[in-house]
Amino acid sequence: MLVKRDIRRRVDRAAAHFDEADFVHAVTREGLLERLDPLVIDVRTVLDLGAATGSTGRALRKRFRRTHVVSLDLSRPMLMRARRSWLATVSRVQADAERLPFADGAFDLVVTNQLLPWLPDPAQVFSEVARVLKKGGVFAFATLGPDSFRELATAWAAVDDGSHVNRFADMHDIGDALVRARLQDPVLDVDRLSVTYGNPDKLFADLTRAGGRNSLADRGRGLVGRTRFQAMTEALAGTDPDGRIRLDLELVYGHCWGCGPGVDATDFRVDATRIPLRR
């Protein structure tokens, strides 16, 4: 389980250099946009969840003309980082994706690029997306699958029994959660991305600049120590014949449709035309 407070602190600190290390976000951003192309949807309002420095929001604004984009993130430093390049038709909102400050059915399109890996439980966010999405609107997302960072997890496992690497949700579990949130007809697919590093220093520098360091609740609270860390990096380098570090990422893309605001369980409605006449 992830600790939201720790995630926010790491992301706040990463804001200044996030754009230098967001190449995975850039790949999945393009994948998201490509998968939106075949969809027939009249887009006037867009919500970019987990917007970071706003790259996805700006790309959506260029893709869908005459559209108002709302970029939402929990981190104020992330939102402030892109203030100079913000378009007039893009709004910034600092808020929690689990408690969206918007009216029911406010958006035609909700997009999130790599927010789901940071969520302790995506179910509440999916429910909020279903609430603010118009009937017939689209929710599109990119996330990481359980095969991501397996090499890093294996290298740590060779050193100790601690929790060092996040456990990413399976594609089928995500699909089930979307359906439970009343989002309709989910379609998911998987792509792969391999990233190679010449040395561990560059790898962990990129993870730090992207805010991707350990935020697990059951992680060890003490320092890892130079000896253990060196043993881990040696095990990690041993996964490639030439000693380089290769990480394989499982990229999961999905989209589904909104069905409009839900009906309160205590709200009973009867169609008067179906009441039989009393004889």
- Per-residue pLDDT tens digits for 264-275: 433 444 444 344
Q: Is pLDDT above 60 for 238?
A: yes
**Mean of the pLDDT values across residues 199-215?**
74
What percentage of the chain exceeds 70 in pLDDT?
80
Task: Supply the DSSP symbol for 168.
Answer: P
Q: What is the pLDDT of residues 113-128, one digit of tens each?
A: 999 988 878 999 999 9
Q: Are 57 and 69 in contact (CB under 8 A)?
A: yes
Is 31 in a helix, a strand, or coil?
A: helix
What Cα–Cα distance (Å) separates residue 188 from each residue in 63, 83, 112, 205, 235?
22, 33, 14, 31, 34
Q: What is the pTM of this model?
A: 0.84
Q: Are 22 and 55 in contact (CB under 8 A)?
A: yes
Q: H/E element holding 8?
A: helix 4-14
What Cα–Cα distance (Å) separates residue 60 from each residue in 43, 114, 129, 191?
10, 15, 18, 21
Question: What pLDDT does residue 268 have?
Answer: 41
pLDDT bracket for residue 216 (50, 70, 90): very low
Q: Are 72 and 49 in contact (CB under 8 A)?
A: yes
Range with lowest mean pLDDT among 82-86, 182-186, 258-262: 82-86
Residues 6+ apart with CB under 8 A from 58: 69, 85, 87, 90
Question: Residue 8 is encoded by which pair of tokens?
Answer: 């926010």
